[in-house]
Amino acid sequence: MNRDLYLSPKFADHLRKIGMLEALINAFKSYRERENFPFVEEQKRIIKQAVFKGLCDYYGQAAKKPTVEKILERTEEIANRLYGKMPKTVGEEVVEGFEKDKEKSEKIPIIEE
């Protein structure tokens, strides 16, 4: 879970009950997307360049040479597959973190005297 926003499961449940958890998650999500956007785009660009170069090398040695447009289409397909599933949204991370914390707190045995 992201260390920028660490909340206890009990507090998160309280925020959910009063209707503020979703607003907090959405605000954090928009902030994170705005801050990470240049890095995500740079990663995608680097992957596309590498795939395009590889396809050009591969098709350069082949007897049948496709058009640049076909290579670009194939590059897009492969890059999307290589880039894989987009990173989790902030909301998914927060909820997953709360569930893990809740499981941990439920597993701690209570010793009564």
DSSP 42-78: HHHHHHHHHHHHHHHHHHHHSSS---HHHHHHHHHHH
DSSP state of 8: -
Contact 31, 63 (CB under 8 A): no
Rounded Cα distance, 88 and 31, in Å: 14
pTM of the model: 0.47
1-42 residue pLDDT tens? 445 456 677 777 777 788 887 888 878 777 877 777 777 778
Q: Could you tell me which residues come within 8 angstroms of residue 44 by beta carbon, excluding any fewer than 6 positions away? A: 79, 83
